[in-house]
Chains A and B, each alone.
Chain A
Amino acid sequence: MHLLQVDIGKTIRVVGFDGGRKLEYKLRQLGVLPGNCARILRQAPLGGPVMIEVDGRSIAIGRGIASKINVEEEAAPCDSR
């Protein structure tokens, strides 16, 4: 499943990316990298971006990109490292 298919408030773990290298690189810089845990904070209406929290940092991700981030849902919230 990808990022857009997860409900607000849920916790996810990043699995991988479908996009190009450039995209992956930008996401990795912000801590969105395989194995990392994140929480879906909110979503802007009418096809707006998704906002997630990774390592205590809030990141807005456009829908086009969000649909290229493969994730799996986690039962427990991320450990607050």
Chain B
Amino acid sequence: MRFALIGQPNCGKSTLFNQVSGYKAETGNFAGTTLTFTESKVRVLSEIVDLVDLPGTYSLAGSNPAEREVLHYLAYHPIDVVINIIDASHLAQGLNLTLELMELGRPLIVALNMMDEAARLGMEIDGPKLEELLGVDVLPLIASRGRGVRAVFTTAMHVAREALPPNRPVYSPGLEDAIGSITNNLNGQAQASPLASELMAIKLLEGNAQLLERVEGHSPKARPLVEQAQKDILERQGQPAIWVFNAERHEKAAQLAEQVVIRGEKRRSKRDYLDDILLHRFWGYVALAAILWLFFQIVYSVGSALEAPLLESFDNLAVWLAGLVGPGTFGAEMLTGVIQGIAGGVAIVLPYLLPFLLGLSILEDIGYLPRLAFLVDALMSRLGLHGKAIVPFILGYGCNVPAVMSTRLLEERRDRFIAATMATLVPCAARLAVVFGLVAFYLGPQLALGIYLFNLLVIALTGHVLSRFLPESSPGLILEIPVYRLPTWRAVAHKSWFRIREFVVDAWPLLIFGSVMLAVFERLDLARWLNAAVRPLTWVLDLPSRVGVPLIFGIFRKELSLVMLRQALGVVDFAEALTPIQMVTFTVFVVFYIPCLATLAALRRELGTRDMLIISLITVAIALAAALLARAVATVFI
């Protein structure tokens, strides 16, 4: 058996999923896209059920990739029951999607979530009446507190066993005629598609281009037929078919809501006034700065407290293991390479990434991230992006890999490209180690802060220039701002776990591979050749030729640039081998140039090989220019 969870964004669908799914839940991709859904095995009435959590969509008309994929998934995969989660406090909007789901020809139940929130707003919902009007089982639910969860799943099981799909809503005669005519004309010829034929007719009339292409493959007369019907509707009703369907569903949903909602006194709580401060024209930005400052403060204090002891234990482990194999042998060096690769993940990245992702999930579940997008939209639009692009940017300070992955939330490919480029320029936790270990330690924390500010400036400039080169206008921000909610620990832990797992699976193996490669290079004494190969670069930057190897290996793992610099220069104290100006130049170059191997892999997955190479080239060019500029400035001031 397979159950599908579906609902509009912010309806609490994932909260329900997290309540019932185990930590073994799998994230999958829709074929050929970066859009993901999550699947888990759940026990219902002593039967094991596959539960699929589909991405939140407002409707299924197929005008964006998420809607198309969800419709495709619901129509073509064997699903025994569709569980439609509705935010009870926004019943009319939620019913819009329900009416569409009733057209699928699949068994359906409706769960009214956040009944507590609705009650707070003074709404009383007559569930039995809604059930009667829709002809679909309707159940109350408070997913965040686990209330009603069991009833939802047992009812879903009963409905799945009965396998009786609901009757779809009836449209106005004009639309019904068009649906009927297309259904009759295509009947028998489009049997290759398991889509209920009336649903197919509706989606074709709404202008789902992919679906039309598919159907056309079996019946060539489909296109003229559909286009004629669309023209008739446009002539008769004065608007395109898609809007007519949209308006009729909206009207029907509103009527249904009106019949079942009893409005009482709305109780205003403290939460309702929170936005007056957090989104205030002035105080909102003060709060933003305070929240981000606190956030990074916590992340870095937790991270740095864990990093040092962890690194030390790994060093000890490496020495001990090397001693067992025999110090100086090839095997020992390989082993040390593997240990260092594991240490890079456990001791350098995870101590920062873990509190970072936990904190981010909390901010997200409270509902602060959409508000952050609202606050910074004006700033981001000057960089050619809109407010939502702030998320990859902030994530970048933890690790560029999840940052690049999070560019998925942007709709336009161009926006994703610009946001990914900017995210790779953000100094991650590993690059922080270089900035702190070199500049802050030898030249003082003010200069380290200066490098961070300089980095921000360069990123802003890059965004600005890129958006000039890619002038197609960004669609701009349209974003629902959900009400504030208290995060549940289970949901936060679940979300963070999924994100950590992405890092562990995608990036970590590459870190270990990089470390082993490093050991091989050292063993074969290839350093001289590598230094010669990048000499033109180090010469231009006025750096010693021996920093070539650390720079190259920085591509494997960013913090290696610092770790290896010590070996390459053959000194314990950097001040003996590098002038302050060279330290600044080196650090600035490391902060900007080619993202690490793991980030490159993420870029390739999200944007393709070509864009990955372009972004790498852009970052080298920026790094070179920025390092030269920093050198010139440093020469004047230091």
Residues of A within 8 A of B (CB): 21-31, 33, 42-49, 51, 55-65, 80-81
**A65 adjacent to B475 (CB under 8 Å):** yes
B420 to chain A, nearest CB (A): 21
**A44 adjacent to B377 (CB under 8 Å):** yes
Residue in A47, A51, A62 whose Cβ sees the most chain B Cβ within 10 Å: A62
- B378 contact from A24, A29, A33, A48, Cβ within 8 A: A48
Residues of B within 8 A of A33 (CB): 246-247, 250
B270 to chain A, nearest CB (A): 17
| B93 at the binding interface (Cβ < 8 Å) | yes
Q: Which 7 pairs, one residue from A and one from B, show the smallest C-beta to C-beta distance?
A: A62-B476, A62-B477, A29-B58, A48-B378, A58-B481, A64-B476, A65-B476
| B121 at the binding interface (Cβ < 8 Å) | yes
Tally of contacts, chain A with chain B, CB under 8 A? 111
Known: A44-B374, A81-B258. Is A62-B89 also a contact (CB below 8 A)?
Answer: no
**A59 adjacent to B381 (CB under 8 Å):** no
Distance in angstroms between the alpha carbons of A59 and B367 in the assembled complex: 13
Q: In this complex, what residue of B is CB-closest to A80? A: B263
**B375 adjacent to A25 (CB under 8 Å):** no
A9 to chain B, nearest CB (A): 13
Please encode chain B, from 247 to 283, with 1 for each CB lying within 8 Å of some chain A CB and 0 for all others. Answer: 1001000100110000100100000000100010110
Residues of A within 8 A of B479 (CB): 59-60
Residue in A22, A28, A42 whose Cβ sees the most chain B Cβ within 10 Å: A28
How many B residues face the partner with a CB closer than 8 A?
A: 46
- B121 contact from A25, A49, A56, Cβ within 8 A: A56
- B375 contact from A21, A44, A57, A58, Cβ within 8 A: A44
Please encode chain B, from 26 to 65, with 1 for each CB lying within 8 Å of some chain A CB and 0 for all others. Answer: 0000000000000000000000000000000011010110
Known: A44-B378, A49-B377, A60-B387. Is A81-B92 also a contact (CB below 8 A)?
Answer: yes
B458 to chain A, nearest CB (A): 22
Distance in angstroms between the alpha carbons of A80 and B264 in the assembled complex: 11
Q: In this complex, what residue of B is CB-closest to A61? A: B478
| B68 at the binding interface (Cβ < 8 Å) | no
**A48 adjacent to B374 (CB under 8 Å):** yes
Contacts A31-B93, A62-B377, A62-B387 given; 4 further ones with Cβ under 8 A? A21-B242, A26-B64, A49-B387, A62-B478
**A47 adjacent to B378 (CB under 8 Å):** yes
Residues of B within 8 A of A49 (CB): 374, 377-378, 387, 477
Distance in angstroms between the alpha carbons of A24 and B247 in the assembled complex: 12
Q: Which chain B residues in 56-89 approach chain A with CB under 8 Å?
A: 58-59, 61, 63-64, 89
Q: In this complex, what residue of B is CB-closest to A36? A: B250
Distance in angstroms between the alpha carbons of A62 and B279 in the assembled complex: 15
